[in-house]
């Protein structure tokens, strides 16, 4: 039955991770996607790509995450990948003050190449390596918050890939931020009536949905829910291409001709 | 109907057997079918990809070729009027260079002539030489010349020496009367010191006059040394001594040459002198002026050397100069005198030199030989004079060669002679010179000559490009020049000689002043200088519009320059390298390349980076492809790419030429990074547009009979193939960039694939919107082809990506960095591809579902009609089967296996829904069991028709539907029995016996069955005392099968949870009753209550006849259970039979029972 597509459709979001070389972008990604931490030092070459399925507030998403090389010499190589991003994680390391200063350039580079509206774009400022000893810390929370305020970036989070602290939360934060902006955009468009410029894509309106399920691999889906909706827990098994019957008589075919609810097989 | 079903089944079976796995064989490398629209697509965007692919490469190669042939315009001056080089700017600039070259020549010519003049001052005693020659002609040896011939020789000599008749006759007379001298006085005037200044400038222009006291009218003059008080002459004279020489004395006078009017006039004339003729005339005039004594010369001083004072071994001595009685020191002269019987060799050589010069000047004068042409061959007359002199003076071939070296090199300064000449002279000179001391006279002559010849040799090296390579002369000249250089450079240059005066060698790069120049360094300098001139020349020549140059023009300029440099290098490799290496062990083209490397890097880097920074970002559509940007007016960067390819080829050439040098240019690709991303952006936009166009053009007919996809699939792959060619052309030299770009390309191609699938779906969906009539969807081949197209593209994707060579790139990353990085790269590429494959698969499945969904309404209609009126003579089943068969046949013939089974699944899914709906609908309508029987028959027909070989489909759902239909088709009593059978099933599955157990045994005979009720165990207590008063009631089911049978009961066993009944019953059975294996025996164990009115139910158990028969004579232990009103299908079916009394009663009874 692997020929058939999984019954569930995920929203597809493109996430891009930017920041100076060595602040731990790839480690963050690896922790998030595979829940691993690579002790060996390595450089990202150009760009790296991974899928991750995640369920947030009862909705299923597939995050297509592009990790980039921070070194300056990769500049021309990584910028083509910025376009079409939905969420941007700006990473610095809490033990490196320069990396925070660098974020302004990263943000500008991103805005320049991704061609998006700065005010309407979900940037998340991620402070990596918060597992370091306090005496090594160079960036205080206040510094960052001040910086974020200057750049009018709402979301800031400190993470540690090593200790797996806040890693998923960082991505979820981005996702929720995205959703908020989506709603704002939608509302505005509705207000403006039907005079929508059809030559330009209405990026935030219609999301493509996908059912890739992380490249068809059996990777687990993270489930993150708002505090108290226990009834909505989406179980990963439901997404697995289990049976045609569920597809047929389950939720997918909820057209009028479908059987009444008490029919179970 | 049966017939039709049979037909359908057979035909599909047949099809299954003949099925071939022929489509979707990856026929990849862009096979261009005649049905494909490749050409149209190319035209649609001006052949963008083709430009980036083969065409561009061909173009660059073609241009290299044309440049090669158009190198000719850079030519020598004497060919500048050659009409063949009409190639616009180049010719014009070639002329510019020529002018420059000429002016260089003329400057040096003036210098040379003035220098030559003083040297040629020796010729002042031309009369003596003339006399000598005439004397030799008269007394010639070796061959018998007739008187007449002698006469012509004399005339020729007069012509050569340009003797006026009077002088000629006078000298001729002397020569005729001259006795062959017995003794000669050989004098060498070496130098003088501290001469008295005679001129206003405090210096003098001294020359020496010597004569014998007895013959003061015959004076011998040296050359004039201008503006010096310490002149060096080193000139030889041979004076014949007549009889009675013992009283003879040699008078040596040093004069200040001050032919104020005459000389200055004449000297000024020299500046205007052009050509040999004028020069020789002038020299003669000066000589005449000097020797005839008609001048204003002033005597500086004199000395007298008496012959008596000269020993036989000779004498070299300083003599003080005197004048009259004046006591003031007038300087001294250093003289070497010796007596000999014959002419001194030095004198002879000196004479020979002069003679050669005169003869050559005459030769050149009369025969109008071109520059670089004369190779040592005199006219016969001149040759006769020359040999006479050589032989009569006793000169060896080496002596002659020394004279020639001197004489010819002197003439060479004003009129270029053939290098072959010098080369052959060197052949004679070198062995002897090799053995001489550095300070010997001949070595000095050798270097003087070399100094005069070398500039022209280097000039050949510098001006190699002036000649048309088709001209063999240049190669010959180069060969000779290199021979000359090779021979000269075997000697160490004497330190006292400034052989490379900066006035002549102004072009030498003054980079390393510390290092002294030698032949080798000057050769390299000459080569570089030539390259520099050429480079500057083409830079200027190609730069047509200097102001307002746009990027395109800059790049064109760059390409042109590189192509020309390349042609130059190719010419160097092809024609010159071998010579350079053979002759002087020099890698000519490598030197050139290294020179160009610096210059080009400087130029190209600035241009390319400038152009790249001007590139505007493109509006690349994101993954949703809501719109396709129009980039018709965007600069395609084709020229930039061409420049890239040209540079790339150029660097390859460099690597082969100088593999060990670090080339400046080798990082050239970095300048292009921004350009590459631009190209990739353009390619993706162009590719998307082409795909859209390909789909629009696609008629959805199979490309040909062997494949099952249509033109757009072929076209799309052709587009990918073009991207691949671009990538191969790019061939990015650095591995990390290479990986990133390939990742981008993979991502882009994946996007294109997804886009294709998306647009293909839309296209085929729009197809039916137009053609759809009513609810009768007819499946056409177009749908199948659309599915196949999508699948074809999808399946081609991985192998195509493989062709991009990403694996190889990643492998190199592993070597360059580490396996960890390589692994991450691999995963990235894989994730991107997998995403695309998944998305495409989903799109395919979506389309397939869409098709199945479209087929649903007609199927539903046929089925509904069919079930409704099945028992009547209706053809709706027939029509359904025809419809299905037609559709399936189309699908089967066109789709591949995977998609065929997918669509079967989907149709089944639709069918299941339809049938399920039908069941539900008709249950509501309270259809009789017969209706469901019909429906079940229909279903079975279809199953057998569809599912024959296809076991993969979901059987479970069919079984469920079938079971359901089975149930609904049952009569009520059967349905009730089904309920009991379900109970039995449940009883068997129950592992714990919470109500207790019953043990029985049974025996069948031919006419009856005997049942033994043995005992019960562990009965659930029903009474307050914790015990029960039980009995067993036995019934046979279904009741309608055993009409007349009444149930029987055992005795009651009071207060016992383990009652031992031990009773036996026999039941008479007819054969048909006995054989029916699913007949049931129901054992009801009840608790008899005190009043005996109602019996409480303890539990019940069932057994089928079949089971009973299988366990004859054995004790059978059964778990007790209680009837429940459970959610069973049989019960639900019964519930649906609201109008059926039997069903109603049964349900009512069951409900009561289960409420206990």
CA distance, residue A232 to nearest chain B CA (Å):
26
Closest CB to A215: pick one of B736, B824, B831. B831
Measured CA angle at B797 (ends B674, B56), to 5 deg:
45
Structural fold of domain B990-1125: Immunoglobulin-like (2.60.40)
Is residue B704 predicted with pLDDT exceeding 70?
Answer: yes
Asked whether residue A66 is domain-assigned, the answer is yes
Contact A43 B817 (CB under 8 A): yes
Q: Return the CATH number at A178.
A: 3.40.50.300
Which token pair is B672? 């292009």
From chain A, pick out residues whose CB is under 8 angstroms from the CB of B956: 245, 265
- Based on DSSP, count helices (H) and strands (E) in chain A, helices before strands: 7, 8
* Cβ pair B335, B302 in contact under 8 A: no
Cα separation of B540 and B633, whole Å?
31
| pLDDT value of position A223 | 72
B692, B712 Cβ separation under 8 angstroms = no
pTM: 0.67
Q: Which two tokens stand for residue B862?
A: 């046929």
Please tell me which residue of chain B has the smallest CA distance to A46.
B740
**What is the chain B residue with the closest CA to A63?**
B835
Domain assignment present for residue A160? The answer is: yes
Question: What is the domain partition of chain B in residue ranges?
Answer: 2-18+848-969, 38-48+663-845, 49-69+543-662, 180-258+297-342, 990-1125
pLDDT for A157-180, tens place per residue?
999 999 998 999 999 999 999 998
Q: With b meaning 16 or more CB within 10 Å and e meaning fewer, what string describes B740-770?
A: bbbbbbbbbbbbbbbbbbbbbbebbeeebee
Backbone angles phi, psi at B231, to 5 degrees: -75, 150
In CATH, the architecture of B38-48+663-845 is Orthogonal Bundle (1.10)
Per-residue confidence (pLDDT) for residue B282, from 0 to 100: 54
Is the model's pLDDT at B1073 over the cut of 90? no
Residue carrying the six token digits 């259970």: B1121
Q: Does B747 touch chain A (CB under 8 A)?
A: yes
d(CA B28, CA B589): 43
DSSP state letter for B323: B
Residues in B touching A40 (Cβ below 8 Å):
818, 820
pLDDT score for B955: 58
Range in B54-68, B191-205, B917-931 with the lowest mean pLDDT:
B54-68
pLDDT at residue A208 in the model:
47
- Measured CA to CA, the distance from residue B341 to residue B352 in angstroms comes to 19
d(CA B96, CA B99): 5
Higher per-residue pLDDT: B1152 or B570: B570
Nearest by CB: A3 against B837, B902, B912: B902
Q: Which of A40-49, B225-234, B961-970, B1052-1061 is the least confident region?
A: B961-970
Measured CA distances, A192 to A185, A186, A199, B1064 (Å): 11, 10, 17, 91
Question: Which value, in Å, is the radius of gyration of the alpha carbons in chain B?
Answer: 60
Residues of A in contact with B842 (CB under 8 A): 5, 210-212
d(CA B695, CA B711): 8
Residue B490 has pLDDT above 60, yes or no: yes
How do residues B985-1019 score in pLDDT, each as one tens digit? 888 887 787 888 889 888 888 788 888 888 888 88
Contact B954 A244 (CB under 8 A): yes
Q: Which residues of B touch A45 (CB under 8 A)?
A: 736, 739-740, 813, 817, 821, 824-825
Is A31 inside a domain boundary?
Answer: yes
* pLDDT range class, residue A122, cuts 50, 70, 90: very high
Domain of A179 in residue numbering reads as 10-183
Note which residues in 841-870 of chain B have CB less than 8 A from chain A: 841-842, 845-846
Residue A235 lies in a domain: no
Sign for the pseudo-dihedral over CA of B399, B400, B402, B406: positive
Question: Is residue A26 included in any domain, yes or no?
Answer: yes
Do the chains contact at B627 and A265, CB–CB below 8 Å? Answer: no
- Tell me what pLDDT residue B258 has: 67
- Rounded distance between C-alpha atoms, residue B936 and residue B929, angstroms: 10
Chain A residues with CB-CB distance to B680 below 8 A: 80
Determine contact: B620 vs chain A, CB below 8 A: yes
What is the predicted pLDDT for the residue at B1092?
A: 62
Give residue B874's pLDDT: 62
Mean pLDDT computed over every residue of chain B: 77
The number of distinct structural domains making up chain A is 1
**Domain at B180-258+297-342, CATH homologous superfamily:** C2 domain (2.60.40.150)
Check residue A174 and give its pLDDT: 92
- Non-local (6+) Cβ contacts of B974 within 8 A are B1038
Say if A236 falls within a structural domain: no
Residue B512 confidence class, pLDDT cut points 50, 70, 90: low
Across the interface, whether the CB atoms of A81 and B744 are under 8 A apart is answered yes
> For A101-107, which contacts have Cβ atoms below 8 Å and span 24 or more sequence positions?
A102/A19, A102/A20, A103/A19, A103/A147, A103/A151, A104/A151, A106/A18, A106/A19, A106/A20, A107/A18, A107/A151
Identical fold, B180-258+297-342 and B990-1125? yes
Regarding predicted confidence, which is higher, B348 or B483? B483
pLDDT of residue B78: 38
Taking 50 as the threshold, does the pLDDT of residue A3 lie above it? no
Contacting residues of B for A111, CB less than 8 Å apart: none
Strand B298-306's sheet: what is its strand order? B215-221, B206-212, B249-256, B298-306
Output the pLDDT for position B1007: 82
Chain A neighbors of B627, CB-CB under 8 A = 199-201
Contact A79 B677 (CB under 8 A): yes
* CA nearest to B900 within chain A: A3
Residue of A nearest to B898 (CA): A3
For residue B367, pLDDT over 90 is answered with: no
Q: Minimal CA–CA distance to B580: which of B699, B461, B494? A: B461
Residue A152: inside a domain, yes or no? yes
């Amino acid at each position: 039955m692997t020929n058939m597509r999984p019954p569930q459709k995920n929203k597809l979001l493109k996430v891009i991770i930017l920041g100076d070389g060595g602040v731990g972008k790839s480690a963050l990604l690896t922790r998030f996607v595979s829940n691993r931490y690579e002790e060996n030092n390595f450089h990202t070459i150009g760009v790296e790509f991974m899928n991750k399925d995640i369920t947030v507030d009862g909705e299923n998403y597939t995050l297509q995450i592009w990790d980039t090389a921070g070194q300056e010499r990769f500049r021309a190589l990584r910028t083509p990948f910025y376009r079409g991003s939905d969420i941007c994680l700006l990473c610095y390391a809490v033990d490196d003050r320069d990396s925070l200063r660098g974020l302004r350039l990263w943000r500008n580079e991103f805005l320049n190449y991704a061609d998006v509206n700065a005010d309407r774009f979900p940037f998340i400022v991620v402070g990596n390596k918060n597992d370091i000893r306090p005496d090594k810390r160079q960036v205080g929370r206040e510094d960052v918050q001040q910086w974020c305020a200057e750049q009018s970036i709402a979301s800031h989070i400190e993470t540690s890939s090593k200790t797996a602290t806040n890693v998923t939360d960082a991505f979820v934060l981005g996702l929720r931020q995205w959703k908020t902006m989506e709603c704002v955009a939608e509302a505005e468009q509705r207000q403006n009536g039907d005079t929508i410029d059809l030559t330009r894509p209405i990026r935030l309106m219609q999301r493509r949905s996908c059912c890739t399920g992380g490249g068809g691999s059996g990777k687990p889906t993270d489930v993150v829910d708002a505090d108290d909706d226990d009834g909505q827990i989406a179980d990963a098994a439901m997404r697995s291409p289990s049976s045609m019957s569920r597809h047929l008589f389950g939720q997918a075919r909820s057209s009028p001709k479908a059987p009444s609810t008490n029919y179970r097989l | 109907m049966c017939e039709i079903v049979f037909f359908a089944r057979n035909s599909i079976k047949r099809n299954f057997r003949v099925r071939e796995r022929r489509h979707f064989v990856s026929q990849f490398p862009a096979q261009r079918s005649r049905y494909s629209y490749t050409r149209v697509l190319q035209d649609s965007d001006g052949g963008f990809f083709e430009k980036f692919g083969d065409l561009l490469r061909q173009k660059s190669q073609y241009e290299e070729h044309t440049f090669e042939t158009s190198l000719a315009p850079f030519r020598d001056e004497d060919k500048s009027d050659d009409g063949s080089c009409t190639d616009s700017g180049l010719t014009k600039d070639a002329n510019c260079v020529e002018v420059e070259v000429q002016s260089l020549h003329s400057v040096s010519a003036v210098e040379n002539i003035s220098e030559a003049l003083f040297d040629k001052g020796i010729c002042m005693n031309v009369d003596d030489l003339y006399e000598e020659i005439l004397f030799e002609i008269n007394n010639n040896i070796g061959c018998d010349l007739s008187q007449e011939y002698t006469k012509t020789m004399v005339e020729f000599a007069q012509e050569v020496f340009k003797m006026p008749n009077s002088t000629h006759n006078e000298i001729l007379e002397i020569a005729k009367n001259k006795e062959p001298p017995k003794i000669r006085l050989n004098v060498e005037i070496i130098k003088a010191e501290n001469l008295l200044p005679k001129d206003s400038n405090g210096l003098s222009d001294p020359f020496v006059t010597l004569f014998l006291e007895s013959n003061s009218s015959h004076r011998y003059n040296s050359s004039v040394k201008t503006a010096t008080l310490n002149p060096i002459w080193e000139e030889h004279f041979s004076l014949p001594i007549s009889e009675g020489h013992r009283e003879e004395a040699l008078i040596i006078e040093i004069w200040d040459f001050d032919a104020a009017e005459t000389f200055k006039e004449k000297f000024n004339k020299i500046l205007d002198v052009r050509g040999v003729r004028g020069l020789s005339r002038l020299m003669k005039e000066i000589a005449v002026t000097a020797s005839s004594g008609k001048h204003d010369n002033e005597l500086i001083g004199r000395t007298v050397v008496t012959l008596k004072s000269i020993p036989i071994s000779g004498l070299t001595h300083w003599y003080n100069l005197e004048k009259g009685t004046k006591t003031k020191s007038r300087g001294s002269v250093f003289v070497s005198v010796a007596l000999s019987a014959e002419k001194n060799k030095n004198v002879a050589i000196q004479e020979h030199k002069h003679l050669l010069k005169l003869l050559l000047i005459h030769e050149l004068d009369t025969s109008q030989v071109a520059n670089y042409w004369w190779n040592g061959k005199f006219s016969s007359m001149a040759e006769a004079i020359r040999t006479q002199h050589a032989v009569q003076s006793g000169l060896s071939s080496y002596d002659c060669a020394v004279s020639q070296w001197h004489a010819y090199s002197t003439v060479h300064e004003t009129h270029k002679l053939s290098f072959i000449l010098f080369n052959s002279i060197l052949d004679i000179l070198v062995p002897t010179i090799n053995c001489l001391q550095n300070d010997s006279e001949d070595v000095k002559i050798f270097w003087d000559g070399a100094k005069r010849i070398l500039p022209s040799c280097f000039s050949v090296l510098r001006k190699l490009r002036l000649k048309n390579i088709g001209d063999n002369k240049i190669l010959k000249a180069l060969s000779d020049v290199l021979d000359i250089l090779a021979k000269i450079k075997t000697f160490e240059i004497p330190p006292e000689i400034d052989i490379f005066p900066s006035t002549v060698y102004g072009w030498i790069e003054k980079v390393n002043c510390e290092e002294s120049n030698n032949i080798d360094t000057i050769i390299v300098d000459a080569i570089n200088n030539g390259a520099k001139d050429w480079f500057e020349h083409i830079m200027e020549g190609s730069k047509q519009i200097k102001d307002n140059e746009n990027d395109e023009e800059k790049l064109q300029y760059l390409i042109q320059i590189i192509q020309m440099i390349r042609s130059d290098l190719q010419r160097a490799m092809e024609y010159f390298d071998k010579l350079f290496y053979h002759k002087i062990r020099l890698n000519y083209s490598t030197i050139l390349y290294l020179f160009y490397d610096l210059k080009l890097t400087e130029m190209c880097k600035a241009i390319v980076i400038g152009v790249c920074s001007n590139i505007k970002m493109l509006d690349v559509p994101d993954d949703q492809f809501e719109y396709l940007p129009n980039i018709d007016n965007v600069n395609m960067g084709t020229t930039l790419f061409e420049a890239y390819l040209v540079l790339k080829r150029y660097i390859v050439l460099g690597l082969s030429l100088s593999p060990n040098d670090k080339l400046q240019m080798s990082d050239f690709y970095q300048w292009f990074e921004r350009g590459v991303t631009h190209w990739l952006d353009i390619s993706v936009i162009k590719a998307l547009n082409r795909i859209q166009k390909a789909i629009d053009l696609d008629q959805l007919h199979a490309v040909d009979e062997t494949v099952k996809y249509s033109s757009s699939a072929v076209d799309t792959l052709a587009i990918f193939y073009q991207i691949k060619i671009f990538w191969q052309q790019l061939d990015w030299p650095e591995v990390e960039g290479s990986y990133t770009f390939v990742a981008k390309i993979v991502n882009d191609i994946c996007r294109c694939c997804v886009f294709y699938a998306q647009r293909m779906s839309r296209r085929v969906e729009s197809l039916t919107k137009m053609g759809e009539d009513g609810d009768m969807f007819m499946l056409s081949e177009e749908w199948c082809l659309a599915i196949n197209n999508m699948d074809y593209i999808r399946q081609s994707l991985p192998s195509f990506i493989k062709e991009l060579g990403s694996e190889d790139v990643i492998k190199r990353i592993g070597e360059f960095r580490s396996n960890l990085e390589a692994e991450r790269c691999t995963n990235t590429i894989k994730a991107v591809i997998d995403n695309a494959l998944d998305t495409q698969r989903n799109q395919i499945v979506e389309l397939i579902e869409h098709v199945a969904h479209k087929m649903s309404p007609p199927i539903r209609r046929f089925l509904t009609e069919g079930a409704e009126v099945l028992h009547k003579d209706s053809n709706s089943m027939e029509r359904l089967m025809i419809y299905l068969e037609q559709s399936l046949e189309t699908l089967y013939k066109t789709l591949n296996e995977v998609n065929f089974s997918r669509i079967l699944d989907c149709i089944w899914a639709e069918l299941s829904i339809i049938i399920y709906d039908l069941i539900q609908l008709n249950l509501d309508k309270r259809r009789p069991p017969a209706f469901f029987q019909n429906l079940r028959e229909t279903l079975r027909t279809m199953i057998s028709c569809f599912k024959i070989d296809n076991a993969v489909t979901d059987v479970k759902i069919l079984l469920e539907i079938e079971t359901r239909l089975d149930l609904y088709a049952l009569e009520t009593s059967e349905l009730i029995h089904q309920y009991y059978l379900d109970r039995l099933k449940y009883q068997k599955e129950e592992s714990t016996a919470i109500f207790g157990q019953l043990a029985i045994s049974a025996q069948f005979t031919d006419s009856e069955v005997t049942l033994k009720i043995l005992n019960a165990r562990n009965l659930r207590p029903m009474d307050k005392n914790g015990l029960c008063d039980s009995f067993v009631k036995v019934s046979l089911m279904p009741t309608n099968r055993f009409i007349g049978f009444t149930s029987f009961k055992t005795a009651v066993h009071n207060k016992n949870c383990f009652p031992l009944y031990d009773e036996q019953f026999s039941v008479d059975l007819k054969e048909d009753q006995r054989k029916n294996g699913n007949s049931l025996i129901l054992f009801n164990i009840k608790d008899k209550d005190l009043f005996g009115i109602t019996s409480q139910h303890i539990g019940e158990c069932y057994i089928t006849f079949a089971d009973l028969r299988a366990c004859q004579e054995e004790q059978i232990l059964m778990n007790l259970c209680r009837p429940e009103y459970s959610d069973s299908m049989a019960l639900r079916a019964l519930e649906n039979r609201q109008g059926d009394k039997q069903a109603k009663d049964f349900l009512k009874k069951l409900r009561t029972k289960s409420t206990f």
